[in-house]
Amino acid sequence: MSVVTVRAPIAGRVVPMSAVSDPVFAEAMLGPGLGIDPARVPQADVGAPVEGVVRTALPHAVAVQTPLGHAVLVHLGLDLAELRGAGFLVGVSKGDHVELGQLLVSWSPSDIAAAGHAVVTAVVALEAEPAELSFLVEPGDEVAPGDPLFTWDRSERDRAPRRPRGRR
């Protein structure tokens, strides 16, 4: 069975992905998911939303791939690459194995917001089909770190016949 429960990496208020001001997320170009608008606190720890291996570790974005192959992106705020990591403390490296809830990044939503940047955090099921997700929270709900956000069921995709790769 290929079902994974994706959990909140941070505390905050759930917002629909369509409300995230970056079209890459709002239009689900990387995959479906949701946003979390965190409290404007001086320090917030971001935990792993799933257990697995870190595939990307940037100051503002970490992707974790589960043993079942589901990859989940946690993208902190918007347009933060220009900060070049200032205000973020990354606790993992690419290739690290992480447990559910393990510290990925510490950051300051209050400092980032005061600098004029959006702090909404996208939690994305990378390359998922929208029908594969079942949301366990609704926009406006308050979540705590570790609260279940959605399940991701790839069972149908896994059962589908696979086209051979390479020469035809």
Residues tagged active-site? 75
Rounded Cα distance between 91 and 106, Å, is: 8
Q: Residue 150 to residues 7, 61, 108, 140: CA-CA distances in angstroms?
A: 7, 19, 26, 15
Rounded Cα distance between 153 and 165, Å, is: 24
Rounded Cα distance between 134 and 1, Å, is: 15
Name the 3-class secondary structure at 158: helix
